[in-house]
Amino acid sequence: AELDTLDIIVLAAILLGTVAYFTKGKLWGVAKDPYASSLAAANGAKAGKTRNIVEKMEESGKNCIIFYGSQTGTAEDYASRLAKEGKSRYGLETMVADLEDYDYDNLDAIPSDKVVMFVLATYGEGEPTDNAVDFYEFINGDSPQFTSDNEPALGNLNYVAFGLGNNTYEHYNIMVRNVDKALEKLGAHRIGAAGEGDDGAGTMEEDFLAWKDPMWKDLAEKMGLEEREAVYEPIFGIVDRDTLTAESPEVYLGEPNKTHLDGTPKGPFNAHNPYIAPIAESYELFNVKDRNCLHMEVDISASNLSYQTGDHLAVWPTNPGEEVDRFLNVLGLGEKRKSVISVKALEPTAKVPFPTPTTFDAIARYHMEICAPVSRQFLATLAPFAPDEASKAEMTKLGGDKDYFHEKINVHHLNIGRVLEIVGKGKKWSNVPFSVFIEGITKLQPRYYSISSSSLEQPKKISITAVVEEQKLPGRDDPFRGVSTNYLLALKQKQNGDPNPSPYGLTYEITGPRNRYDGIHLPVHVRHSNFKLPSDPLKPVIMIGPGTGVAPFRGFVRERRKMVENGQAVGKTILFFGCRKSTEDFLYCKEWEEAKQIMGDSFELVSAFSRENGSKVYVQHRLKERSKEINELLEKKAYFYVCGDAANMAREVNNVLAQIISEERGVPEAKAEDIVKNMRASNQYQEDVW
């Protein structure tokens, strides 16, 4: 119903193009193609949005739906890869669906000749991703209510399950495990094994690839599908909009949505709609030359955003110009970078991941995660479009041979542009349909930062504390540099007087689309978290936050300090902070002294320096030294918080705490571990780790 004239023109153009292609141009120029308008009409039918998944499958003729629960985009990416593969290899009519967009009470009405796939990431401390919260509560609830009286409730449902997790966390892949259990209990039939990918071991991609092949075999057998030679079928059509230029007002140059394009962004500001926040101040926290850690404050007073101490700020980064150039040039799009295109879903259930009409430059700069390491499967997808036989053979080998891929690509963490440069030996990859990249490269994701300010002290200004990411790589002189943090570094340099900042040789379109970020702004939104101080200020708190893990605790300490200034009494507030050297990376060193002045005995900072005095002292050692006091505080119901490195520190702190409890209370270690588990379950032990 909402199909506008533009949509029709664009769709018709795509279809005419396709028809022209298949008929070798004979029909080109036919103004009114009946087929074009019927598909345009079918596409228009999707406009009325339904939350009824059965209705949706019926109206769009789908027999395979792939739900995703995704936080950082990987699960969503895997879901669309499954969708594409199911269609091209097995002729399934697939669709990808955000768990948030549908109701679940009629999962029982999905007929048994269809299949539902769940690709579910486990987030943080065994939590569902934001978009999967409702689904998880529903399916994992005591007795989920379905629309019919089927017995068992999900006896008709065939499903496939893959989880994305991290084995360094306590609740490894708990989402997929619990959902699988719940579905099974409700009588649903799983096809293939429930797969588990492990980010902690760095094997996510290979786990996924190893899981999916046997799963497809089982599914094909169960549904009677014939495997065929996969042919690429675009999900998106690209249309040149020759009548438009990058100066035309309706062309998106990186604006996230229509209100931003119109120059009148409106709230609510959220994961779909950032607030372009003025940067109030920014400065360097380290005293060393080769490493950076930024303190940055954004002003939210002109927005309706609010936050609470302990929440997260999501930062919407842009890619560095050098990588945008590399990517566009290797595709042969360097000259066409400012050409205007429209992208339309050729599939009623597919969503174009960014607004159009837009330019290639804007897509690469603002919307695609072009700096991320490439996946093996994606290289296989690109092989048929290689510029010559040699690079086609190389891409096929890279895509098919796990060890070869690991040696050539993975250890060097090459991004897509670099791989194509190396494999093509300088040739342009101009045969690859651009839709392949739209489908195959993850959307550029916002990065989260633990808010390091206190909402009691400054409700309208949010600060973050971000260490600038850099990773030395074998065989490369230039280390990998993090997308978001180097962008923040450039913003900081600009704010502090450098008109053309280029940290480590990287440059950014710092003034944003149509210069709207000038003056100087950062696109953000706030993500609310459960990482919170106890509501009773008299409760003691123990905080473990080495490195940038100190970020939320700066907020906590400033909050309690403000309470003291307001004449309120606060409980004991102990912060364990660790870094390399007191003279180099001791974050907020002066502020802790001030806090001590104001808060007196109720505040204590315990520091651990790992590269001073010859001995490697870490926060967990300091914690152990204070066993008696820590145990006493816990017995007074102190809250215990850990923030920072998920891989090692958080786990070691957990173990040390169990040791402390065991020794101080004279209970066996297993019992002490249970006590720690219970503390976690009752929120007395909280983690904010990444």
Catalytic residues: 450, 643, 688, 690
CA–CA separation, 185 vs 189, rounded Å? 10
For ligand FAD, the closer CB: 342 or 450: 450
Asked if residue 372 binds ligand FAD (CB under 6 A), the reply is: yes
Interacting stretch for ligand FAD, rule CB under 6 A, among 177-185, 237-245, 272-280, 464-472?
Answer: 464-472
Beta carbons of 551 and 450 less than 8 angstroms apart:
yes
CA–CA separation, 84 vs 110, rounded Å? 21
- Candidate residues 114, 241, 447, 539; the one interacting with ligand FAD per rule CB under 6 A: 447
Asked if residue 373 binds ligand FAD (CB under 6 A), the reply is: yes
Interacting stretch for ligand FAD, rule CB under 6 A, among 85-93, 191-199, 462-470, 584-592?
Answer: 462-470
The least distance separating ligand FAD from the CB of residue 139, rounded to whole angstroms, comes to 25
DSSP string, 121-171: EEETTTEEPGGGHHHHHHHTSSS---SS--SSTTTT-EEEEEEEE-TTSSS
Beta carbons of 492 and 522 less than 8 angstroms apart:
no
Asked if residue 156 binds ligand FAD (CB under 6 A), the reply is: no
Q: Within 408-437, which residues bind ligand FAD (CB under 6 A)?
A: 413, 415
Asked if residue 89 binds ligand FAD (CB under 6 A), the reply is: no
Beta carbons of 599 and 564 less than 8 angstroms apart:
yes
For ligand FAD, the closer CB: 158 or 484: 484
- Candidate residues 551, 579, 608, 672; the one interacting with ligand FAD per rule CB under 6 A: 551
Question: Quick one: which of 180, 239, 197, 230 has its CA closest to 78?
Answer: 197
CA–CA separation, 285 vs 586, rounded Å? 8
Beta carbons of 47 and 3 less than 8 angstroms apart:
yes
CA–CA separation, 309 vs 657, rounded Å? 25
- Candidate residues 70, 309, 359, 548; the one interacting with ligand FAD per rule CB under 6 A: 548
In a 3-state reduction of DSSP, which class is residue 556?
Answer: helix
Asked if residue 371 binds ligand FAD (CB under 6 A), the reply is: yes
Residues with Cβ within 8 Å of residue 131, at least 6 apart in sequence: 68, 69, 70, 71, 98, 99, 100
Question: Judged by CB under 6 A, how many residues of this single chain contact ligand FAD?
Answer: 24
Question: Quick one: which of 272, 275, 274, 292 has its CA closest to 283?
Answer: 292
CA–CA separation, 439 vs 368, rounded Å? 10
For ligand FAD, the closer CB: 156 or 452: 452
b/e burial code for range 639-671 (CB count within 10 A of at least 16 → b): bbbbbbbbeebbbbbbebbbbbbbebeeeeeee
For ligand FAD, the closer CB: 323 or 347: 323
Asked if residue 524 binds ligand FAD (CB under 6 A), the reply is: no
- Candidate residues 56, 177, 312, 365; the one interacting with ligand FAD per rule CB under 6 A: 312
- DSSP-assigned beta bridge partners for residue 576: 544, 606
- Candidate residues 449, 577, 603, 618; the one interacting with ligand FAD per rule CB under 6 A: 449
Q: In the block, which residue shows the tokens 């997808």?
A: 381
The least distance separating ligand FAD from the CB of residue 564, rounded to whole angstroms, comes to 25
For ligand FAD, the closer CB: 450 or 662: 450
The least distance separating ligand FAD from the CB of residue 503, rounded to whole angstroms, comes to 12
The least distance separating ligand FAD from the CB of residue 248, rounded to whole angstroms, comes to 31
Asked if residue 463 binds ligand FAD (CB under 6 A), the reply is: no
The least distance separating ligand FAD from the CB of residue 2, rounded to whole angstroms, comes to 36
Asked if residue 286 binds ligand FAD (CB under 6 A), the reply is: no
Residues 316-335 vs ligand FAD: string with x where CB under 6 A? Answer: -x------------------
Asked if residue 469 binds ligand FAD (CB under 6 A), the reply is: yes
Q: In the block, which residue shows the tokens 């093996």?
A: 376
- Candidate residues 264, 471, 566, 613; the one interacting with ligand FAD per rule CB under 6 A: 471
The least distance separating ligand FAD from the CB of residue 372, rounded to whole angstroms, comes to 5
Taking each helix axis from N to C terminus, what angle separates 34-44 and 5-22, rounded to the nearest 10 degrees?
130
Asked if residue 465 binds ligand FAD (CB under 6 A), the reply is: yes
Residues with Cβ within 8 Å of residue 355, at least 6 apart in sequence: 252, 255, 256, 257, 258, 261
- Write the single-letter amino acid at 343: V
Q: Within 476-515, which residues bind ligand FAD (CB under 6 A)?
A: 480, 482-485
Asked if residue 375 binds ligand FAD (CB under 6 A), the reply is: no
| Binding positions for ligand FAD, rule: CB under 6 A | 312, 317, 371-373, 413, 415, 447-450, 465-467, 469, 471, 480, 482-485, 548, 551, 690
